[in-house]
Copies of this chain bind each other. A is one copy, B any other.
Amino acid sequence: MKKFTSVSDVENLQQIIKKALQIKENPLSEPEKGKGKTIGLVFLNSSLRTRLSSQIAAQNIGLNVLTLNAAQEAWNLEFADGAVMNGDTVEHIKDAIEVLNQYCDIIAVRCFAGMKNKEDDVNESILSQFEQYAKVPVISLESATRHPLQSLADCITITENWKENRKPKVVLTWAPHIKPIAQAVGNSFAEWMQEMDVDFIITNPEGYDLDKNFTKDVKVIHDQNEALKDADFIYVKNWSSFDDYATMPEVKENWMLTNEKLENTNQAKVMHCLPVRRNVELSDEVMDGENSIIYQQAKNRIFSAQAVFSEILDKMNSK
């Protein structure tokens, strides 16, 4: 693996899931693999799980870790190519990346969608610069349109929780929220599920269909109850409108996931990437109930990251 910013960077999904599960069995099995190498974790946005799980994964594998809260600890970054920097921005992202090239063997970056300019977000205005200017492997810690370390953890979690001899029905359901947030987790989960051996559908209100570039031919159902029927896994996540970008078209039905809605399912396991707004996206009873595998998902973020770091180090060490 040369970099990790989407599912297309994974050569063999089943193999990396298997590797992650082996790492979970024995997280300290390769304690020297990253020895003498440094990973830079660059946060342009808040992070709990990604921050901690990436650090643990790096430590487990012997990588030195540099964590940078870019906005608070370093300088206000300019992202526009050719900018005359006579305003508030102090350092161009190109220069920051080139400096990280000097200091790091792997660069991991979190750069959320700005939610202001659709084109900027669709084109990954920040991550694309990391991909363009970084001379070392780049790992996404969630970008404008994708969250691949989360999606890999999701695949690991589904694999762990499915032992039957048929494809599970996996439903990605939109959930309510109080402000417009990005489609990254939804897009990414849709992409990865298409690579998994599952029956995958999406349900969301009218006006909330995700970008077709990610969902492709996946069936989208606008009736949540119909969609959830016989589900084996339900992935709960809010996103704002893609078509009328970053808006929140009115939704009349109540899309919050409740125990009542689980009744029509095949005792579906409930997933969420966290953080979750309790009693808005899903009810306390679901969150704290037996169907939730949400914390297990969070734990698997360690092994998702460690499997990716390990494969990237393999590639580097084989040169």
Q: Which A residues contact B (CB, under 8 angstroms)?
A: 28, 36, 38, 40, 43, 46-49, 51-53, 55-56, 59, 64, 66, 68-70, 72-75, 78, 82-87, 90-92, 95-96, 98-103, 178, 274-280, 284, 287, 295-296, 298-299, 302
Q: How far is the CA of A274 from the CA of B296 in the complex (A)?
A: 41
**Separation in Å of the A104 CB from the closest CB of chain B?**
8
**Contact at A51–B28, with CB atoms within 8 Å?**
no
Q: With a CB–CB cut-off of 8 A, which chain B residues contact A69?
A: 72-73
Query: Beyond A91-B275, A178-B86, A280-B86, is A73–B51 a contact (Cβ under 8 Å)?
Result: yes
**Contact at A95–B287, with CB atoms within 8 Å?**
yes
**Contact at B99–A280, with CB atoms within 8 Å?**
no
Q: With a CB–CB cut-off of 8 A, which chain B residues contact A280?
A: 84-86
**Contact at A68–B85, with CB atoms within 8 Å?**
no
Q: In the complex, which of the residues A74, A95, A276, A299 has the most CB atoms of chain B within 10 Å of its own CB atom?
A: A95
Query: Beyond A36-B28, A73-B69, A84-B280, is A274–B52 a contact (Cβ under 8 Å)?
Result: no
Q: How far is the CA of A178 from the CA of B302 in the complex (A)?
A: 44
**Contact at A299–B53, with CB atoms within 8 Å?**
no
**Separation in Å of the A261 CB from the closest CB of chain B?**
17
Name A68's contact: one of B48, B274, B279 (CB within 8 Å).
B48
Q: With a CB–CB cut-off of 8 A, which chain B residues contact A95?
A: 274-276, 278, 287, 295
Q: With a CB–CB cut-off of 8 A, which chain B residues contact A87?
A: 178
Name A47's contact: one of B53, B73, B83, B284 (CB within 8 Å).
B73
**Contact at B295–A99, with CB atoms within 8 Å?**
yes
Q: In the complex, which of the residues A64, A86, A91, A102 has the most CB atoms of chain B within 10 Å of its own CB atom?
A: A102
Name A66's contact: one of B56, B66, B73 (CB within 8 Å).
B56
**Contact at B298–A85, with CB atoms within 8 Å?**
no
Q: With a CB–CB cut-off of 8 A, which chain B residues contact A46?
A: 73-75
Q: How far is the CA of A40 from the CA of B72 in the complex (A)?
A: 19
**Contact at A56–B295, with CB atoms within 8 Å?**
no
Told that A78-B278, A84-B280 touch, could you supply 14 new A-B pairs with CB distance under 8 A? A40-B52, A46-B75, A47-B74, A48-B91, A52-B68, A56-B64, A56-B66, A59-B64, A69-B72, A84-B279, A91-B275, A95-B275, A95-B295, A99-B274
